[in-house]
Amino acid sequence: MKSIKVGSAAFEALVNRNDQGRRRLQQKVSGILESVRTDGDNALIKFTKKFDKIELTKKELKVSEAEISGAYQDIKPELVETLKKIIKNINKFYKNQMPKSWMMKHEAGIELGEKFEPIEKVGVYVPSGTAPLVSSVYMTVLPARIAGVKKIIMMSPPNKYKSIDPHILVMANLLKVDEIYKIGGAQAIGAMAFGTKTIPAVDKIIGPGNEFVTEAKRQVFGYCDIDMLAGPSEAFVIANHNINVDYLKEDLLAQAEPHKGLSILVTPSKKIFNIFHKDPAMRGFVVKVKNLNEAVDVANRLAPEHLHLMVKSPNRLCKRVSNAGAIFLGEYTPVALGDYVAGPSHVLPTGGTARFFSGLNLRTFIKSSHVISYSKKALCASADWVKEMTALEKLEKHWDSVRVRCGVAADEAAAVKAPVAKTE
């Protein structure tokens, strides 16, 4: 592993890793998105041929019922049973996250509250490179279903058989995904954001992907919502001298396994530092710090996707963590558990965006509306406050909408206008 020092140029590059190569990527993705926005299905067919080497017709963009039925014949029956057990396990976690609408009496004649509703249409992106990421299906679709999303569509790149991997199709079918399309990359994000003749536009796009997918999500934000910027996998491990070195080694190798995966080890232990710094088989970075408190400070600056606390008292250290997608406590909680079966979604913010994004959860699929109710007496009791603020901001009609309800004479509206300062 490559050694870097806190505060060095290499360390700052890690802190700002989400900016690397951004301008060139922005231009490429922008061109793809504009083509999809203006040319719709034709652009999707063109890019699928260019990037995936697959020729599809407009009719073939959507996965058929026959393809879904045939997918069950191409996977092991026992795997279906395993998937059902995992679904049940994840269900238990998310059912505890459902927010409830509420109202409260603020003062006499005033009630305030919040009303929660599920987002109507969600688009899910599921990567499928060298292997089908079946776990990304249930880690995204299941919380959307529990939240009550009315329509879910899914995008995944086509394989050489002009379909989608059968494992992905079966998982999507088990979770009752409404529509599935054979489209990958930035063009898939554009299709969900803008809509085409074949594909409906959605209200929110979720799911992980490569740098093109992540940048596309960033650029379409505003046309629709997105969950977060979830790019290549990354793990940050804080370890001290009394941990099992074999466990640590396998954890670091596991997170460096995906394409462009990033592993970072931070340790106050000279022994641990030397073991991993001198091992040519290890990829990623190792940082030597003075103590565990400094290690957490480094973690908070880097804001990693996965933060694994392999220390004797992980709960104590966890209290000081403020920036991390998910936190794993102790030697017997490898990140792989969170990736597949623990319960919380493995779709997490990467590239340092855990400073302001949360991991995918039930609230990802819920929007809220503020609810406000005033009686006439309560309204008029607050009228003077409104009058003063509308005068300050020169919004006389706002005051009029209150004045007329409280029986204030129209000629008093003149008092709303803020005085104009005289010039010498």
How far from the centroid of its chain's Cα atoms is residue 328's Cα?
19
Alpha-carbon dihedral 307, 349, 174, 155, rounded to 10 degrees? -140
Query: What whole-number distance in Å separates Cα of residue 9 and Cα of residue 66?
Result: 55
**Which amino acid is present at 408?**
V
> What tokens were used for 319?
């209290």
> What tokens were used for 128?
């499928």
Q: What is the mean pLDDT of residues 387-402?
A: 95
**pLDDT at residue 256 greater than cutoff 80:** no
Same fold? 2-19+232-358, 40-227: yes
Residues 6+ apart with CB under 8 A from 38: none
Q: Do residues 127 and 374 make contact, with C-beta atoms less than 8 angstroms apart? A: no
Lateral strand order in the sheet of 225-226: 179-181, 151-155, 121-125, 204-206, 225-226
Report the length, in residues, of the chain. 424
Q: How confident is the model at residue 272 (pLDDT cuts 50, 70, 90)?
A: very high
Quick: pLDDT tens for 104-122: 998 899 999 999 999 999 9
Quick: pLDDT tens for 67-105: 999 999 999 988 888 988 999 889 988 988 889 999 999
Taking alpha carbons only, the member of 365, 362, 360, 326 closest to residue 94 is 362
For 126, half-sphere exposure in the C-beta direction (CA atoms, 13 angstrom radius) is: 30
Query: What whole-number distance in Å separates Cα of residue 33 and Cα of residue 172?
Result: 26
Q: Do residues 110 and 373 make contact, with C-beta atoms less than 8 angstroms apart? A: yes
Classify domain 40-227 at the CATH class level. alpha beta
pLDDT of 412 reads 55
Catalytically annotated residues = 305-306
Q: How confident is the model at residue 17 (pLDDT cuts 50, 70, 90)?
A: confident
- In CATH, which superfamily holds the domain spanning 2-19+232-358? Nitrogenase molybdenum iron protein domain (3.40.50.1980)
Which is it for strands 366-374 and 110-118: parallel, antiparallel or unpaired? antiparallel
Q: Would you list the DSSP string of 48-106? A: HHHHH-----TGGGBPPHHHHHHHGGGS-HHHHHHHHHHHHHHHHHHTT-----EEEEE
Taking alpha carbons only, the member of 319, 413, 344, 259 closest to residue 89 is 344
Q: What percent of the chain has pLDDT over 70?
A: 95
> What tokens were used for 348?
């997490």
Quick: pLDDT tens for 217-255: 999 999 999 999 887 889 999 999 989 999 999 999 987
Quick: pLDDT tens for 159-192: 999 999 999 999 999 999 999 999 999 999 999 9
* Averaged pLDDT of the chain: 92
- Enter the DSSP assignment of 304: -
Q: Do residues 287 and 208 make contact, with C-beta atoms less than 8 angstroms apart? A: no
Residues 6+ apart with CB under 8 A from 210: 127, 129, 185, 231, 232, 259, 260
With 0-12 / 13-18 / 19 or more C-beta atoms within 10 angstroms meaning exposed / middle / buried, residue 122 is buried
The total of other beta-carbon atoms located within 10 Å of residue 166's CB is: 20
Domain-wise residue ranges, the chain:
2-19+232-358, 40-227, 375-416
**pLDDT at residue 402 greater than cutoff 90:** yes
Long-range contacts of 403-411 (CB under 8 A, 24+ apart): 405/376, 405/379, 405/380, 406/376, 406/379, 406/380, 408/383
pLDDT of 178 reads 98
Alpha helix (H) residue ranges in 180-234: 185-194, 211-220
**pLDDT at residue 21 greater than cutoff 90:** no
Adjacent-strand bridge partners of 371: 113
Q: Do residues 19 and 295 make contact, with C-beta atoms less than 8 angstroms apart? A: no
Q: How confident is the model at residue 415 (pLDDT cuts 50, 70, 90)?
A: very low
Adjacent-strand bridge partners of 263: 235
**Which amino acid is present at 97?**
Q
The total of other beta-carbon atoms located within 10 Å of residue 81's CB is: 10
